[in-house]
Amino acid sequence: MSPPPKFVHDLPTPDPESPSLSRPRQPYRFSTLCATVDSPNGDHKDQHGSSSVPIYQTATFKGIGGQYDYTRSGNPTRTHLEHHIAKISSAEHAFAVSSGMAALDVITRILKPGCEVIAGDDLYGGTNRLLTYLKSHMGVTVHHVDTTDAPTILPFLNPGKTAMILLETPTNPLLKIVDIARISAMVKERCEDAVIVVDNTMMSPYLQRPLEHGADIVYDSATKYLSGHHDLMAGVITCNRDDLAKQIAFTINSVGNGLTPFDSFLLLRGTKTLAIRMDRQQSTAMHVAQMLSRMGFVTHYPGLPNHPGKDIHDRIADGYGAVLSFETGDKELSERIVGATRLWGISVSFGAVNSLISMPCVMSHASIDPATRAARGLPEDLIRLCVGIEDPADLLDDLQHALVETGAITLAADDYIRIPNTINKAVEKLALGDRINSDRTRENREWFVSAPGKVILFGEHAVVHGVTAVAASVDLRCYALTSSRHDKKVSVHFPDLDNYQHEWDIDDLPWDVVTSIPAGEEHPDTLDQKLIDAINTRVLPPADQVPRSANNASLAFLYLYMTIAHGAERPSFHIVTRSTLPVSAGLGSSASFSVCVATTLLLLTKRIALPPFPPRTRESAEPGDPGHLHITHHGRRAITQETATEVNRWAFIAEKVLHGNPSGVDNSVAVFGGALAYTRSGFSRKSGMEQIQGFKSLRFLLTNSKVPRDTKRLVAGVAQMKMQCAQDPEVVEKLLDAIQTISDEARRALADPELSRESLLSALSALINENHAHLVALGVSHPALEAIKALAGSDPYNLSTKLTGAGGGGCAVTLVPDDFQETVLDTLVAALRNENFQPYLTAVGGSGLGILSPYDHGLPARNGQVPGPMTPPETPAEELAAADDAQGPASLLTHFENVTLAQLPTWAEERGRWLYV
């Protein structure tokens, strides 16, 4: 049922065009006021007669004594906007600033040390944060009370001290109603100097104008309904008192947070459709609220007949708005519901034309500590819905499907009803079983993935100082295998890291501090330090009880797991990682680990998917028949570029957890393979990564010196060398420029299709020797690396060798010509081992990320049909470690954990067909 219309305002309207008319014009209705932008005064008429207010995109204005001189103090576009906002808000004065919180900041500058503020106990998280700051740093006393019960403010009214009453109605996110008129009268009677401030964001001037009910100042986050499209940040302040307007104008001019001309234009455009947008939004919101209430959920929406504040709201507002919230009784269930929707975007904001869904306690109100949230009655399981302008039927259907899929409702008597909390867990288990049966890819299948390491061929170490590095994938790989669990636990096994094993109860992980990253959206540039701290202090064993490398790997794994799985189904599984790469040798072992972990998690949560494979019979299938999948230049089926890019983004996040500030080159090589050139940002050269097309695979001997590296010390040493070269301050720069020239020449040679193989190898050999000599001059080599280089360069080998990575230990790389005799190479390998070095003969420039195909599994045909996507092989639900069964495939787990490192590459390739980037 829609509220009665109250859209008539006693605002100025044009005089009759002719005195002969028999009746005066009627006051304009609100939607007309919104759509009609008039000039603040005669001076603001555009000289060209434009029908839309022009954007005066200028910082300064010419002349002396004019109305405008500097845009910080005033701008014609902003003036038009402020006049328009005042008109639709029943206000004498309006101001536009850079955000809703900027508006509140301007308002609270009225306060002085020793003042007291009375505020509601159900406030927007940002408001609470600012009040906490004022309390802690400005000597302002803040009393949080239940403002929905007006008399509760009486004990806190202190004449001479109480300076501000901060109200919000409906409250966010519980939709509680505050009687603005009654509280205003009570305050003015006892503390006439106190300023009554109302956050009107949720209603907008269309549905509520608090100035008409006794408020002194009203502010809105215009980012929300006034704009309506989430394409700008803005805040507006309105008031009728000249003294307050003067203070507000002074503050805005002083701090310079007035809205920019372009954003003023956008906001002015958005307000024109405010009425028509909100009519659609609140109409749909009523349908959603009625559906949820009918199903049996505790639903908070002032339009429902049982809402405790409905009578008050009907008296002070013209509608019920488009925000509502409901409780499920179970936080985990709520998180699954949020993640199961499709049309409802997961976001902390509201007011846009598209519908949004969120869990306030883990998103917009996460800055309020859990104890305070509990004290204020804010349920952890609360879901907030912000309704957009989509078709109501689609929104209702999408929400209904999410509730069914997560086991929150069931069909009874031809209608959906809520499942009581007492049996909800049992239903969840049944629903999970149904999903397992219908979606084997998520629960009962093993995922087997691999990613290569990397070697920096040229420019290593110097890359830190802005030199271009040429990096390539190395045919030594990290492998990861996931196996299903059904006990709500997640576990890891890192055989290469002191055989470390650990498991965690999924429910015990610190989900309360996770910030949701919806599918398709990117992780912020900075890591979530709260989550990292929570994992370290609440989840991981004490540092002195775990090998450092295993602790770091666990931290990166859990950070990705919680960030990717949050808001969706949290898979229960076991992951094992093994690597033919030497760990901590400068060959990108951590990056290949990060890529493997990111890939498995994205597959398990269905954030990425493999290309479909058409059904075919074994008789019709040719060996190696690729169906309609893409073919790489290696003749292998390709993982799509979109999937690879998504994996790379998340692998980079894991690298950040492991290393703090990685370049991004290691994980990029591990995902995309081949070779690329990387230049760090912050220097004179153009930054970024560029693939080297047509890279020819090369044979290298990688030799691990087994000497630990201190990368930070090495980098600092070169920086100190720069400072100490007083006689020739450019000596280091000359060395770096010479290395840059080598990198440039190597790129040209590697990408030149006309260059013969013999000429290429000869050129690379010379560049390797020259590059190493410059690195020695920079002081980043090590006696062990020099010993490797001397041995490989001696007779009868005469091979070119250089350090790679940061130097100071780690690995050396030796170029092996195509025609080099294998018996001589075997002799060199033996000689290196005799010196206690660890050599690896490998190819450089091969494939990137690989995923074992779920289609080509080599299983026998049954009834003429090849089994569907069963590989990675179906994992028996009861016996993960069972031996091979003649009737079908058993788990890969036992074999994967026990096969030797030397056998691992061959064993992995024999499991089935691999898809590669």
Catalytic positions: 72, 124, 199, 224
The H or E element containing residue 551 is helix 548-565
Distance CA 721, CA 878 (A): 62
Confirm if 875 and 444 have CB atoms less than 8 A apart: yes
Q: Within its chain, how far is the Cα of 619 from the centroid?
A: 47
3-class SS of residue 298 = strand
3-class SS of residue 560 = helix
Confirm if 454 and 669 have CB atoms less than 8 A apart: yes
Token pair, residue 623, equals 């060996």
3-class SS of residue 378 = coil
Q: What is the DSSP string of 208-261?
A: --GGGGT-SEEEEETTTTTT-SSS---EEEEES-HHHHHHHHHHHHHHT-BPPH
Q: What is the DSSP string of 574-625?
A: EEEEEESSPTTSSS-HHHHHHHHHHHHHHHHTTSS-PPP-----TTTPPTT-
Burial of 913 per CB tally in 10 Å (0-12, 13-18, 19+): middle
**Helix, strand, coil percentages, rounded to 5, for the chain:** 40, 20, 45
The residues near 492 (Cβ < 8 Å, ≥ 6 apart) are 500, 501, 502, 503, 553, 554, 557, 574, 575, 576, 577
Q: Within its chain, how far is the Cα of 200 from the centroid?
A: 29
Torsion of CA 100, 106, 112, 114, to 10 degrees: 0
The residues near 454 (Cβ < 8 Å, ≥ 6 apart) are 471, 472, 473, 474, 587, 588, 591, 592, 665, 666, 669, 670
Distance CA 219, CA 238 (A): 6
Distance CA 607, CA 518 (A): 10
Burial of 21 per CB tally in 10 Å (0-12, 13-18, 19+): exposed
Burial of 450 per CB tally in 10 Å (0-12, 13-18, 19+): buried
Residue 336: HSE in the Cβ half-sphere, 13 Å Cα cutoff: 21
Burial of 876 per CB tally in 10 Å (0-12, 13-18, 19+): middle
Place of tokens 């190819």: 843
3-class SS of residue 362 = helix
Where does 369-488 show beta strands of DSSP type E? 383-386, 409-412, 415-418, 447-458, 469-484
Distance CA 291, CA 344 (A): 16
Rounded to 10 deg, the angle between the 589-604 and 641-659 helix axes is 120
Beta pairing class for 489-494 and 500-505: antiparallel
